[in-house]
Amino acid sequence: MQTSYHGHAVVQIFTENTKVIIDPFISGNELTDLKVDNIEADVIILTHGHNDHVGDTVEIAKKNDSLVIAPYELAMYIGKHGIKVHPMNIGGAYQFEFGTVKLTQAFHGSSYEEKDGTVIYTGMPSGVLFTSGGKTIYHAGDTSLFSDMKMIGERNTIDLAFLPIGDNLTMGPEDAKYAAEWLKAKKVVPIHFNTFELIKQDPQVFINMLPTNIGLLLEVGEKYNLLDS
């Protein structure tokens, strides 16, 4: 299994037969290397409903006939656009042909703002545990630090964790350091920073807080093979 980081919270996962993208915020994301027209995605996973995470889901899903996996209320909203959806809820897991997806807690908000300013409630925010080929990726979504991360780390062997470090709207570097310790992930990648002025951070500062060889600073577009973890 391979994964790659594409700015903000955009992560791609490549299993043997399936292309997955998490939180595909492409249009308006000045840090990404991706173009909506070029994205191939069999599956789209959404952590929550904020516009900078739902992003270009509808357009990508229609182009690729993608399956969208999301928290229940968000999945129902996306489904109204004529898209295949699989609704889930926090604590639930489902075995798909390509792997297992389980939603975890995340402490944040979740709503989608339409072009006319209408705000749609999209349920609880979540993190994602994705397991395939004996490897597990944890995408924390947008979240603060919370003590149940200890339990997530105790109950799962996490090969790679994507943790927000932007502060102001999510964990900052100091709290993300505690999250990394509690999760016991073999490798930790910082995400959700520098996209906007409010979340400006130097990711190397976060990497330097972590034990040697744990932090992994992926350049935008860089791939990582989980066989190396």
pLDDT 10s digits, 152-165 = 999 999 999 999 99
Q: List the structure tokens of 62.
A: 């229609």
- Give mean pLDDT, residues 176-180: 98
Q: What is the average pLDDT score of the chain? A: 97
Percent of the chain residues topping a pLDDT of 90: 98
62 near 31, Cβ under 8 Å? Answer: no
- Among 54, 85, 81, 49, which Cα is nearest to 67's? 85
Sorting pLDDT into bands at 50, 70 and 90, what band is 229? low
Which amino acid, residue 50? H
**pLDDT-derived band of residue 212, with 50, 70 and 90 as boundaries?**
confident
List domains and CATH numbers for the chain.
Answer: 2-219 (3.60.15.10)
pLDDT of residue 227: 79
Residues 85 and 120: their CA atoms lie apart, in Å, by 18
Exposure string over 175-190, b if 16+ CB within 10 A, otherwise e:
bbbebbbbbbbbbbbb
Q: What is the pLDDT of residue 10?
A: 98
Amino acid at 125: P
Q: Whole-angstrom Cα distance, residue 209 to residue 39?
A: 34
What is the predicted pLDDT for the residue at 220?
97
Closest CA relative to residue 61, chosen from 77, 47, 81 = 81
pLDDT tens-digit map of 71-119? 999 999 999 999 999 999 999 999 999 999 999 999 999 999 999 999 9
In the chain, DSSP assigns E strands to: 2-5, 11-14, 19-22, 43-45, 67-71, 84-88, 93-96, 99-105, 111-113, 119-121, 126-132, 135-139, 160-164, 187-191, 223-225
pLDDT in tens, 50-74: 999 999 999 999 999 999 999 999 9
Give pLDDT tens digits for 9-47: 999 999 999 999 999 999 999 999 999 999 999 999 999
